[in-house]
């Protein structure tokens, strides 16, 4: 009896110790991003993002784990971030990018610690970089200097710009590394007697040497393992749609001769070199210039000498990218429904297999120089992202970090993956979250949260959110459904193609069939439902606003309202034309069929519209068009414009505001509650 009473008290204590976090606590969660492993596999550098409420920004700093010890924070830039850590080839130094008042520069410090020292001083800043295998140099990409003629023009004619014709390209440079060089400012530099313009005995910083030039911009590069050449990806200009014309070339370091390597009609993306420096790994859309927004890119190797191309992983049905070629094989993590295993590709046979499937989702990864160890960021459905390390030959991951401890004691989301049939018979999956005290005999309000993309994906997670207070709604007593509608990543090319000439229409089938699935199981109260989403999720929510009346409230975040006006305003024009297979001028009907505004006269649902002031991906005209249409039909509607933001809300205070706006809107129209957004106490 005493043991039973003890267990009862223990369970009761555990239940009462769980609490709902505040909006601020959710936004303040630390997150792990990139990871890189030392050449000997005994150390891992990774970046952690934190929230700086005073400065209203997210800060990224570098942490270091060494075998046999606990991780510790390595960098601390009070005003900006430190990112892109890399180990020197001998493992003694760690480099990173940081803006410490002089734009992004490459900094260097001992792995044992110490004060970081800038090893570049580029006026334009450094975009990205890589160590040369010889250890004495780094190669980096930086943008060109601003055109002096443009400055002179502004003095006389003011500021104007010809669309898609004025830009700054980026190119490859290399610089010698002298870690022990004394800072010139700390050493006397004397003028010679014979001339005031000549100085003697001065210490000079190494100067960068240019490696490429021409009418193209460098978008990626990898130095060959033998250090003799650099393979680089490039496109005609830095404009966003020019990736469709990207190619791969090689520059030899001895003479700076540039030789084209892969020049398909569509996009070609550089992946890696083979360990023997004889082949280059790349992904490509080949000759497909009309559907590569939703079709798979394919993986290939090319022999640098013979130009023989070999297809790899031919049966891996997903859009491919992010590959690394080591001595032990070719690797990449790829979505497989809501799981993301680490795959291994045999470079000889081209066959692929799963190397790691636990944890369930594996993201960024890095290998030791001999390819026998791997570090990666991953998580299971009940975890936040963590750093893991594993042997390749005997994969048994060891968790290095403990960031999930942040949510210990929280009432977190309970997740399960469910599936249902859509209107056209397509199988749709989604993540269903239930409240902690779920009772199968009750019917619950339902909140539908729709991801962006469309090639995004929702997966089980303990803290879903962005600007939607999901944990708080779960605690309020509702179900949350996050559907992976047609077009989502992880379900193959044919599934993504179901959106072609069917945007919005098919997406609505998928959402509404999910709602009906839950209703048939007796789980939901259909009189209390809401829907929301950002970007493509905002578009689907807008489509639901004007084509259904089953929801009590809807929130449209950065959503498309009219494909015709969107097509001529967005910065990614090919997206619309590829999915709808037409321009507005060649097939007006398909643009009307898939546009929320077409059925604005049917709209009844109270709709909150959230939009960034300077959004170029989904220009704010979409928000105003939907708002005016709803107001003309006397449908309750409100537009919140987040000043200074583009397509996403990437500062904590405005993200907090957007969360409160959603909490206020849905609580009013779904639960009938009046919510006042708290202000600062002025006492």
* Same domain assignment for residues 307 and 444: no
| 557 Cβ neighbours under 8 A, 6+ residues apart | 467, 532, 533, 534, 535, 537, 538, 541, 610, 611, 658
* Same domain assignment for residues 304 and 418: no
Does 266 reside within a domain? Answer: yes
Does 112 reside within a domain? Answer: no
Print the domain residue range for 436: 411-669
**CATH number, domain with residue 465:** 3.40.50.1820
The per-residue pLDDT for 191 is 60
The per-residue pLDDT for 433 is 97
Closest by alpha carbon to 385, among 412, 408, 406, 354? Answer: 406
**CATH number, domain with residue 246:** 2.130.10.120
The per-residue pLDDT for 200 is 57
For CA atoms 351, 353, 355, 360, give the dihedral sign. Answer: positive
* Same domain assignment for residues 285 and 429: no
Cα atoms in the 13 Å half-sphere on the side-chain side of 516:
11
From 312, 335, 355, the end of a domain falls on: 312
| Token pair 């004007």: residue | 546
Does 682 reside within a domain? Answer: no
Does 590 reside within a domain? Answer: yes
DSSP 57-78: EEEEEEEEEETTS--EE----S
Does 299 reside within a domain? Answer: yes
* Same domain assignment for residues 307 and 442: no
Across the chain, which has 683 residues, the per-10-residue mean pLDDT values are 41 60 96 95 97 96 95 92 96 95 93 88 95 93 86 85 88 89 63 56 82 97 98 96 95 97 97 98 95 95 98 96 96 97 97 96 96 97 97 94 96 96 97 93 97 95 94 97 97 96 96 98 97 97 97 98 94 93 95 97 98 96 98 98 96 97 98 89 46
Does 218 reside within a domain? Answer: yes
- Give the predicted TM-score (pTM) of the model: 0.92
DSSP 582-634: S-TTT-HHHHHHT-GGGGGGG--S-EEEEEETT-SSS-THHHHHHHHHHHHTT
* Same domain assignment for residues 491 and 633: yes
Does 660 reside within a domain? Answer: yes
Does 521 reside within a domain? Answer: yes
Residue 486 tokens, joined:
């047609």
The per-residue pLDDT for 436 is 85
From 275, 291, 312, the end of a domain falls on: 312
From 290, 312, 334, the end of a domain falls on: 312
With residues binned 3-state (H G I as helix, E B as strand, rest as coil), the percentages for the chain, rounded to 5, are: 20, 35, 45
* Same domain assignment for residues 286 and 432: no
Number of domains the chain contains: 2
* Same domain assignment for residues 502 and 639: yes
Distance, in Å, from the CA atom of 304 to the CA atom of 280, rounded to the nearest integer, reads: 7
* Same domain assignment for residues 308 and 420: no
The per-residue pLDDT for 7 is 40
Q: What is the dihedral of CA 242, 244, 245, 250, to 10 degrees?
A: 100
Closest by alpha carbon to 207, among 168, 226, 233, 181? Answer: 181
The per-residue pLDDT for 205 is 78
The per-residue pLDDT for 442 is 96
């Amino acid at each position: 009896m005493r043991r039973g009473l003890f267990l009862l008290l223990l369970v009761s204590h555990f239940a009462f110790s769980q609490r709902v976090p505040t909006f601020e606590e959710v936004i303040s969660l630390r997150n792990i991003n990139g990871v890189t492993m030392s050449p000997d596999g005994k150390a891992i550098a990774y970046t952690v993002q934190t929230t700086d409420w005073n400065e209203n920004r997210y800060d990224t700093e570098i942490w270091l784990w060494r075998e046999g010890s606990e991780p510790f924070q390595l960098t601390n830039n009070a005003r900006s971030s430190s990112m892109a850590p890399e180990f020197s080839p001998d493992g003694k130094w760690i480099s990173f990018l940081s803006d410490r008042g002089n734009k992004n520069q490459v900094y260097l410090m001992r792995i044992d610690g110490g004060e970081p020292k800038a090893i570049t001083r580029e006026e334009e800043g450094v975009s990205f970089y890589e160590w040369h295998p010889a250890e004495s140099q780094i190669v980096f990409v930086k943008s060109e200097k601003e055109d002096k003629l443009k400055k002179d023009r502004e003095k006389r004619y003011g500021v104007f710009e010809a669309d898609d014709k004025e830009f700054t390209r980026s190119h490859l440079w290399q610089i010698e590394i002298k870690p022990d060089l004394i800072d010139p400012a700390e050493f006397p530099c004397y003028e010679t007697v014979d001339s005031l313009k000549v100085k003697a005995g001065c210490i000079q910083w190494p100067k960068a040497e240019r490696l490429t030039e021409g009418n193209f911009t460098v978008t990626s590069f990898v130095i060959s393992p033998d250090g003799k050449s650099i393979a680089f990806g490039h496109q005609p200009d830095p404009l966003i749609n020019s990736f469709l014309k990207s190619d791969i070339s090689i520059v030899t370091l001895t003479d700076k001769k540039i030789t084209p390597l892969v020049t398909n009609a569509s996009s070609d993306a550089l992946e890696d070199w083979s360990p023997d420096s004889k082949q280059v790994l790349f992904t490509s859309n080949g000759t497909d210039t009309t559907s590569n927004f939703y079709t798979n890119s394919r993986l290939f190797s090319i022999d640098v000498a013979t130009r023989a191309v070999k297809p790899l992983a031919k049966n891996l049905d997903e859009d491919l990218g992010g590959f690394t070629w080591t001595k032990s094989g070719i690797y990449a993590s790829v979505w497989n429904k809501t799981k993301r295993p680490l795959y291994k590709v045999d470079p000889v046979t081209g066959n692929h297999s799963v190397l790691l499937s636990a944890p369930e989702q594996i993201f960024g990864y890095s290998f030791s120089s001999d390819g026998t160890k791997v570090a990666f960021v991953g998580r299971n459905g009940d975890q936040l992202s963590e750093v893991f390390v594993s042997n390749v030959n005997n994969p048994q991951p060891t968790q290095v970090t403990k960031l999930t401890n942040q949510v210990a004691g929280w009432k977190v989301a309970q997740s399960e993956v469910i599936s249902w049939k859509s209107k056209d018979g397509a199988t749709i999956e989604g993540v269903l979250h239930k409240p902690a005290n779920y009772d199968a005999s009750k019917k619950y309000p339902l909140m539908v949260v729709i991801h962006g993309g469309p090639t995004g994906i929702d997966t089980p997670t303990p803290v879903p959110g962005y600007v939607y207070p999901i944990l708080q709604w779960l605690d309020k007593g509702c179900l949350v459904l996050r559907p992976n509608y047609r077009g989502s990543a992880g379900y193959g090319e044919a599934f993504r193609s179901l959106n072609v000439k069917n945007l919005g229409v098919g997406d609505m089938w998928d959402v509404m069939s999910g709602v009906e699935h839950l209703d048939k199981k007796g789980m939901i109260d259909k009189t209390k439902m809401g829907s929301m989403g950002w970007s493509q999720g905002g578009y689907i929510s807008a489509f639901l606003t004007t084509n259904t009346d089953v929801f009590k409230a809807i929130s449209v975040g950065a959503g498309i309202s009219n494909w015709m006006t969107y097509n001529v305003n967005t910065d990614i024009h090919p997206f619309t034309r590829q999915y709808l297979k037409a321009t507005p001028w060649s097939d007006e009907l398909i643009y009307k069929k898939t546009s929320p505004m077409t059925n604005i006269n049917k709209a009844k649902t109270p709709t909150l519209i959230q939009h960034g002031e300077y959004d170029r991906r989904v220009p704010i005209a979409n928000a105003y068009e939907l708002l005016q249409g709803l107001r003309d039909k006397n449908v309750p509607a409100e537009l919140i414009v987040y000043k200074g933001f583009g397509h996403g809300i990437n500062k904590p205070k405005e993200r907090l505001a957007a969360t409160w706006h959603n909490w206020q809107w849905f609580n009013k129209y779904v639960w009938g509650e009046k919510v006042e957004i708290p202000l600062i106490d002025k006492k």
